[in-house]
Amino acid sequence: MAMLVDLAIKIGIDAVVLFGVLNLAGMQTWLERKQSALMQDRVGANRATFALPWGWAMPINWVLRKLGGLGILNALADVLKLLTKEDFIPQQGDRFLHTLAPFLSALFALLAFIAIPIGPPLEWAGRVIPLQVADINAGLLFILALASIGIYGVILAGMASGNNLATLGGLRATSQMLAYEIALGVSLIGIIIWAGSLDMNQIVARQGATFLGGYLPAWGVFVQPLGCLIFMTAALAETKRIPFDLPEGEPEIIGYFTEYSGMKFGLFFLTDFVEVVLVAALTTTLFFGGWQVPYLAADGFHLPWGALIAVSHPVYVVLGVLSFTLKVVAFIWFFMLIRWTLPRFRYDQLMHLGWKILFPLSLVNLVVTALIIVVCSQP
């Protein structure tokens, strides 16, 4: 019975994480339209709606009209459109690889959330339940490895389409992701040295401390400001979205998914949004305290001037989960802001930024961090 309860708890946590990620990804289809409309001083998408023909459904129809006016039903219309479109496979393409590519991209993007803690451990009925799908000792390395494997889905999509333009888009995506993965990985070594672990839980716990008289939380962004900037830039490039969307190149029609339609294209579309959620979650976990709330410990708020505001354990857990969620949503909004503000780079500018600016800066950040750690550790 105890094993069944533990299994049910684990399945429940898995379902909550998957449900949360997919809903945040789906929310971005609405946020992208409405936020861009707000920035461009227009109404935005608001026409997708329907009404039930029965008289008793008037309250429901009122709700549907309101949702349609807000543009929320546009996401549902997108899904229905993709489900009903023809699944086209080019005659000169490889049927198996053409079908496999979008599933690989979506799978590895979703698997990366396994190692990310969404809240503090929950104590319930004599059990300590980690709010994490899997507590992996080298969780950060696991996430980076999955992000690297995700390249295969992109390059397979281009090569298996039997289309020169799609192949060019796949090659662009591969070279871009490889260039920025190196800078991204090196930028994280500084936070690993400071935290002394690759365990995501240990990295979050390390950020629960304070400095400057207890007023400033010891978040990674204050300890590693340059590393945070490099990571966010390189991670945004890994999502292949504006201003780093050369692999898709919509005006040039050279996207690696040029020969995709229906839900296969929908999977690539979903993967882009899932990757944005992943970047937001990693930025939150590594540099903004994860689920940590400033001055909040397990027994309550420890204010800098010595006051203590007691908090019960359930409230502590809820505040942690809410803190993580709000930070992730804030970063999603910020990445959307960048997406609708900056123009696309030229390809030579893209490579120049990755190899000649971000990579050297990440090495400088690593050397400076190592020197500071060595000097501070001396008696």
* 253 has a pLDDT exceeding 70: no
Residues in contact with 163: Cβ distance below 8 Å, sequence separation at least 6, in sequence order: 90, 92, 93, 258, 259
Give the number of other Cβ atoms within 10 Å of residue 3's Cβ: 7
Considering the chain, what is the average pLDDT of its residues? 87
Q: 318 vs 207, 283, 313, 328, CA distance in Å?
A: 19, 21, 9, 15
pLDDT at 324: 94
Query: What is the C-alpha separation between 52 and 134, in angstroms, rounded?
Result: 44
pLDDT at 309: 87
Q: 118 vs 5, 13, 35, 270, 301, CA distance in Å?
A: 21, 10, 26, 21, 20
Q: Which H or E element spans position 105?
A: helix 95-111
* 3 has a pLDDT exceeding 80: no
* 375 has a pLDDT exceeding 90: no
Give the number of other Cβ atoms within 10 Å of residue 87's Cβ: 12
Query: What is the C-alpha separation between 247 and 267, in angstroms, rounded?
Result: 16
**DSSP code for 290:** T
Strands (E), the chain: 122-124, 127-129, 210-211, 216-217, 296-297, 300-302, 308-310
Residue with the larger pLDDT of the pair 278 and 249: 278
Rg of the chain over all Cα atoms, to the nearest angstrom: 23
Average pLDDT over residues 187-207: 91
Omega of the bond leading into 243 within 30 degrees of 0 (cis):
yes
**DSSP code for 261:** -
What phi, psi does 191 have (nearest 5°)?
Answer: -70, -30
The string over 147-173, giving b where at least 16 C-beta atoms fall within 10 Å of a residue's C-beta and e elsewhere, is: beebbebbbbbbbbbbbebbbbbbbbb
Confidence of residue 54 (pLDDT cuts 50, 70, 90): confident
Give the number of other Cβ atoms within 10 Å of residue 13's Cβ: 18
pLDDT at 70: 85
pLDDT at 162: 84
pLDDT at 361: 94
* 222 has a pLDDT exceeding 70: yes
Residues in contact with 142: Cβ distance below 8 Å, sequence separation at least 6, in sequence order: 112, 114, 115, 136
Average pLDDT over residues 304-314: 86
Q: Are 251 and 173 in contact (CB under 8 A)?
A: no
Name the token pair of 239.
């999502």
pLDDT at 251: 67
pLDDT at 374: 86
Q: Is 128 helix (H, G, I), strand (E, B) or coil?
A: strand
CA nearest neighbour of 200 among 142, 273, 268: 142
Q: Are 240 and 272 in contact (CB under 8 A)?
A: yes
- DSSP structure string for 37-48: HHHTTS--S---
| Angle value at C-alpha 190, between 185 and 193, nearest 5 degrees | 115
Percent of the chain, pLDDT > 70? 98
CA nearest neighbour of 169 among 248, 239, 251, 271: 248
pLDDT at 186: 92
Give the number of other Cβ atoms within 10 Å of residue 311's Cβ: 18
